[in-house]
Structure 1
């Protein structure tokens, strides 16, 4: 199977007070936070995002349980060394087993039994399953419970970091709306499932937050973790280098420290590749094993053109909605991401567009945007941009969140029923 809101906004226009305000915010906002105030700011951020997290967590928990018997399920698909849970699977334990679908099985298998040569497991980077294995050991050997704990804790912390970063880089209202949009995006349930996206979002946001505040050692360490979490983690290294060069262009003497942080981040990818060279003699095994999911190179514009043609060709036909769902979720993200090219610092633009263009370049031909609605989840600058568009157009954030939550309510039951939402 292929895988694959606030008072300050009312007091001033969304863009600030003209060009000078925007330029000042772009250059220095991230550096105005002192180390002494960091813990206080983070506690404030955690309190701000906790209600949203709890509402989404409880809502999806109930919906996941109901979804087990809501639709006739498709056949479960096991992975080598880890059988899929049976369907139907009645009982209260389905509160948790309902989340064990698709790539979650790979992460659980790797956490419990490790990697194997040639079975496709190399495509999954190691930090998330390592964290699951550690927590599972502490719990006495319960990998699914451990994976859910890791994902949920990482998502809560990631929301707080994204909120704090958005508050310092954009505004308090943009920060609040960003968290709301991110938590109610139609595929946001992947943040709560045994997937690596929440840990990656946390580490990437931590790296950028540290870099913007001149804490390059922290940025490098978090970037290294991000590169060990997902194959697109190397983009974090490029984004850190971009920030170092932009700081140098603005007259700061931090190029060497910034580039060292970027090298540290890139070393995460290199370490994982080197481990496969030692294990199997194939340095590029994590890339070669992407062939298991039948992905091949395509120019991003060709991917989008093909996806657009297919999305509207099969409307109303059996399985036709999959292509349309992909298109409806991905194309608006691409549209708002154009703002990043002209309004955001290089670090955020590079991360956002690198995270978009890379998966758009390696696609499953029969479903060009397969998994893209999940891949866009950690690209938080796109959600900043969406929040700013809503402010400019005076659209209430709750209205956009309601639309997203409706999509979430549709896609989560499909995911639980083994329909092709991955």
Structure 2
């Protein structure tokens, strides 16, 4: 069955607006929990090993030129090396995680770079930390873990409607083994965003536009790219009208609600610092500039093969090796799946390419693409059609995930 049309033929629990059967929900939860627990256990072991095995500047008295090391953020020091089982948890406290923890504990501060981090995840950390008696790291890990597990269940249900049960199970596995899925298990905003974006699509496919608009607005409050859901929901609304499955206006209203999440955050900065665009202006802190997407792709390819075998040039090659297959999967999603999913995948690829970090053109793009679930659907669909072997997808993805986890926990520059 063509996935573009699968939703139109969905049975109970499908895209017609029916509820989810108890058996389907239990099956999705059981499979998602098994995958989540298995990958979480494996990555925890790898992260613990990385802390003890991979050298960084903090391990060497007086530091060491060329070695990465703990990077503090204003108001939140990075954890330093030290023996003990606490490393099972602090091994995940890296890079942007420090910003989320700082914001959750101490709030935003004008001009220090914190405005670049959208507020929904820090707010959730703050609330759960209060319930835990003031333990922000534990709260951050709990929120991200719960959000990821819930996201896997939602994506399983959505993929089962669009692709079938077998492909749904594979797509959940491929998502958790994606080479930059390390960020889905770390205290980052990606899991919460993934949950909300998946929920927006699931609600839209079932014609529940109020829920879709709310989930989309919350996604836009979680990450700046959440606003892209507005285009996807609008396309889905128009597509459903073309299929004679209802008027377009409820879906278009839901799409219009998505930017309200972004607008609410911008309004906060207007009140706080007199600058509506403070989150955008803070991008200068990270030295990102607007360029044509193809220029970023060309520069990233050039740098990837310019420094082979030379540290730290390997970061360019690693970025390229992760981005190119994901970009191909995005293009496959555009051709193969419903227009809303294709629009979302393509926009999620092009926007980061248009905001590049010139010294490392593809930096962070592998992380951004980890939550673009049509990529994982594309892999599952290709395996279903026997164009790719399942074992090879799992082996290559798991190997890449192992590498990025070791580097991330060791403070190497995996952002």
TM-score (norm. length: structure 2): 0.94
Match of 1:275 among 268, 272, 288: 268
Maintained 8 Å contact 2:237/2:251: yes
Q: 2:259 aligns with which of 263, 266, 272?
A: 266
Distance 1:83 1:261 in 2: 41
Displacement after TM superposition at 1:347 (Å)? 1.5
Cα distance per residue 1:310-360 (max 9 Å; x no partner): 101100112121000000001101112112222211221121111111111
Which residue, 7, 16, 25 being the options, matches 2:6?
Answer: 25
Runs (4+) off by over 6 Å: none
User: Which residue, 150, 162, 165 being the options, matches 2:158?
Assistant: 165
Q: Which moved more, 1:252-261 or 1:310-319?
A: 252-261
Per-residue Cα deviation, 1:261-317 (whole angstroms, up to 9, x for no partner): 112222101111111111111101111101100000111111111111110110011
Match runs of 1:21-420 below 5 Å: 24-25=5-6, 27-29=8-10, 30-32=14-16, 34-35=18-19, 37-73=20-56, 74-86=68-80, 88-393=81-386, 395-420=388-413
Gaps of 5+ in 2: 57-67
Native 8 Å contact 1:26 1:344 kept in 2: no
- How far apart are the structure 2 equivalents of 1:62 and 1:23? 40
8 Å Cα contact 1:42-1:161 kept in structure 2 = no
Structure 1: which 5+ residue stretches go unaligned?
A: 1-15
Relative to structure 1, the CA distance from residue 266 to residue 38 in structure 2 (aligned partners, 3 Å threshold; closer, same or farther) is farther
Aligned length: 401
Residues 232 and 343, structure 2, Cα contact 8 Å, conserved in 1:
yes
SS in 1 for 2:309: coil
Q: Which residue does 2:414 correspond to in 1?
A: 421
Q: Distance in 1 between matches of 2:265 and 2:116?
A: 11
Alpha-carbon distance in structure 1 between the residues aligned to 2:176 and 2:307 = 30
For the residues of structure 1 that align with 2:4 and 2:324, how far apart are their CA atoms? 29
Counterparts of 1:149 and 1:23, CA distance in 2: 36
Write the deviation string for residues 19-48 of structure 1: whole angstroms up to 9, x where unpaired.
xx555315453424612x355432221112
- CA separation of 1:388/1:22 partners in 2, compared to 1, >3 Å: closer, same or farther? closer
Kindly provide the CA deviation profile for residues 51-107 of structure 1, in whole angstroms up to 9, marking residues without a partner as x: 111110111111111111111012211001111111x22111000001000000000
Q: For 1:408 and 1:290, how far apart are their aligned partners in 2?
A: 28
Q: Deviations over 1:224-274 (max 9, x none)?
A: 110100000000122111111111222233312111211222210111111
CA offset at residue 395 of structure 1?
A: 3.8
- Contact 1:182–1:377 at 8 Å: present in 2 too? yes
For residues 394 and 256 of structure 1, do their structure 2 counterparts lie closer, same or farther at Cα, with a shift above 3 Å needed?
A: closer
**C-alpha spacing 1:23/1:241, structure 2 compared with 1 (3 Å):** closer
